[in-house]
Structure 1
Amino acid sequence: MNNSDLETTKEDDEISIPRAALNKYVKVLIPEARLTNETRELLLACCHQFIHSLATKSNDACSNANKKTINPEHVIQGLNMMGLDHYVEETRTANEEAKVELQGRRSLRASYKFKNKNSTELEELMRQQQELFDQAKANLVDETVVRNEFSAAQQSTHSFQSAFLGQEQSAGMSGSSQLLASGVQISGYDSQNSKPIDDDEDDYD
């Protein structure tokens, strides 16, 4: 086998359809049919030629649109160029199904990747999460302590004010009693002779 044969084989492998996929598709379409190996090879060759032709037309549509990447719309334009516009709706449906399948594979891959993460990394994440919980709990406790201390200080201040006002009231009542007693004493006795004053005694002539 020379180099040209190797290059041709390599190109065929790049655009080839898996035989298992072709066999499954044939079995779905015509389950009662039995195909020889030569027939299967001919079907593969036809598929390869169709893919190559469609890729060429799609690339032309991409170039005409001044784009660098072939997208699904370019493929649809390629079908129209080949006179296969009756396959457009089926192509759109297949494209949507492929998107859903791709999204499912990505989700499955992400889930598998998460489950198989390094245990050390997971432990570190859990440790950081626990630190956040502990810090929040400590902040809550500190806030409760400050609130209790403030309430106790308010109660102490209120008690002190009540006691102080009570002392002032007691002192005021005691002073009033003394003044009242003195007034009675002055009005009931002569300040010089220390004897009772007779209200009925006549005035001096």
Structure 2
Amino acid sequence: MRIWGLTNRLTATVQKIITEILPPSSGQTFSKDARDLLMECCVEFITLISSEANDISEKEAKKTIACEHVEKALRDLGFSDYIADVLAVAEEHKQQLKSREKKQSKMEQSGLTEEELLRQQQELFRSATDKYNSVPE
């Protein structure tokens, strides 16, 4: 299902939120029409905030929309109540990126140059090919 170019990811996210808010044990259900309307509202909200944040970043001659642009967009559009939660999620995301960067730096921690690592990789491929080719059929 696609709504304004968004993929099923939006559907899954909205469904997860609905399930958290309205668990099956409550006896209440959420109709497909209501879910679709909620998704359209979500898309409209995201589009509104994104557009405003983009305008703000362009006025500052920036090529990248930053957290402060989203924060100002929320404030300018009257959604100041959301700012604390948005900034908390942004900080959490930043921490997750830092932990990913640490994992990615294993190459740097090896102490080997890129050429040495490439040479080792090629040797491993050669070794694997030799082993594969030497197996009797």
Fold equivalence (TM over 0.5): yes
Q: By how many angstroms is 1:43 displaced?
A: 0.8
- 1:72 is matched with 67
Q: By how many angstroms is 1:72 displaced?
A: 0.7
Q: By how many angstroms is 1:11 displaced?
A: 7.9
Q: By how many angstroms is 1:98 displaced?
A: 1.4
* 1:55 counterpart letter in structure 2: S
Question: Structure 1: 5+ residue runs without aligned partners?
Answer: 1-8, 112-116, 125-205
- 1:121 is matched with 121
- 2:14 is matched with 22
- Taking the aligned partners of 1:110 and 1:16, their CA distance within structure 2 comes to 33
Q: Which is higher, the Rg of structure 1 or of structure 2?
A: 1
**CA shift digits 1:15-65 (9 cap, x unpaired):** 875211111112222323421111111111000000110011101111221
- Taking the aligned partners of 1:118 and 1:40, their CA distance within structure 2 comes to 51
CA RMSD for the aligned pairs? Answer: 3.2
Q: By how many angstroms is 1:108 displaced?
A: 5.2
Q: Is the aligned partner of 1:48 residue 2:43?
A: yes
- Taking the aligned partners of 1:74 and 1:120, their CA distance within structure 2 comes to 46
- Taking the aligned partners of 1:59 and 1:44, their CA distance within structure 2 comes to 22
Question: Structure 2: 5+ residue runs without aligned partners?
Answer: 107-116, 125-137
Of 6, 29, 34, the match for 2:29: 34
Query: How many residues matched?
Result: 112
Contact 2:74 2:82 in 1 (8 A): yes
* 1:75 counterpart letter in structure 2: V
Look up the SS of the partner of 1:103 in the other structure: helix
Structural mapping, 1:50-199, within 5 Å: 50-107=45-102, 120-121=120-121
Contact 2:3 2:40 in 1 (8 A): no
Instruction: Call closer, same or farther: CA 1:66–1:101 in 2, change over 3 Å.
Output: same
Q: By how many angstroms is 1:123 displaced?
A: 5.8
- State the identity as a percent: 25
Q: By how many angstroms is 1:91 displaced?
A: 0.9
- Taking the aligned partners of 1:70 and 1:15, their CA distance within structure 2 comes to 22
